[in-house]
Each structure stands twice: as C-alpha cells, then as structure tokens.
Amino acid sequence: MISWLNHVAIAVPDLKKASAQYAALGATVSEQQDLQEHGVAVVFVTFPNTKIELLHPLDENSPIAGFLEKNPRGGVHHLCFEVENLDAASRKVAEIGVRILGNGSPKIGAHGKPVVFLNPSDFQGTLLEFEQM
C-alpha cells in the first residue's frame, strides 16, 4: 500500500545556507523554486534512492512559517510515501483509527498529484504525506 519514500521534507530557516551545506556534502541540489499556491520556496536535494525537499515559507501565512516559529533551527516537517491507490490507502487509514488532516479528501500536492496528510497526533507524532502515483 505505501511503498517508495518519495521525499523527506525539512523546514529550514535559511534556504541558501541549507542548500550550500548539502551541496558541500556532495549532494545534488536544485535551484530554488517558489510554489506560490503552496506558500513555500523549495530546493530539491537528490540522493540515489530518494530526495530531501528543503522548505522555506514564502510568507507568514505559509504552513511552514508556523513550524519554524515552533522550531526556529528548522527540522523534519514530513515524510512523503508513494501509494498506488490513494482512495484504498485512505480507507485503510480510517480503518485503523488514524485521521486525515483537513476534510479527509485528497488535495493536489506540490508535485501536481493528489495527496493526503495523516494527523500526526494519531501516528507517532510523525506527519506522513501519501502521494498518488
């Protein structure tokens, strides 16, 4: 049901510094992309088996802004797993008593694909994103 770890999203207070640090360690680092509709600037750090997405808020209404207020140094924001069938995965999540954030319906995520986020209060304090492949 959940399979490939698509990315680890890390909120960072300084996107340029974070990018430079990962590049210095030999990782492949993209240019910054501003995703206006999601309120975040993102840099993709590519590894042979997965990606890190470095996130920084574009404005104070960004969901990442609140995270950085609580975690000013930055930190892991969420893990995104690919799923083949988002409806089936969402039903299974409900079955085991884990809530989906928002109204429970998929939204279009930052990669243009349907996604849901699980409520971290119901799942080991970890924010998981499921992305339909």
Q: Residue numbers of the site for a copy of itself (CB under 8 A)? A: 1-5, 8, 10, 12-13, 18, 20-21, 24-27, 47-50, 54, 71-76, 79, 81, 89, 92-93, 95-96, 98, 120-121, 123-126
* 37 in catalytic set: no
Least gap, CB of 112 to a copy of itself (angstroms): 21
Residue 37, both tokens: 């509709």
- Interatomic CA distance for residues 106 and 49, integer angstroms: 26
Q: Which is nearer to a copy of itself, 48 or 112 (CB)?
A: 48
Contact of 30 with 106, CB cutoff 8 Å? no
Count of Cβ atoms closer than 10 Å to residue 22 Cβ: 20
- Interatomic CA distance for residues 117 and 63, integer angstroms: 13
Q: Which is nearer to a copy of itself, 33 or 126 (CB)?
A: 126
Q: Which is nearer to a copy of itself, 12 or 58 (CB)?
A: 12
Least gap, CB of 130 to a copy of itself (angstroms): 9
Alpha-carbon dihedral 92, 94, 96, 97, rounded to 10 degrees: 170
Q: What one-letter code names the amino acid at 15? A: L
Least gap, CB of 77 to a copy of itself (angstroms): 9
- Residues designated as active site: 129
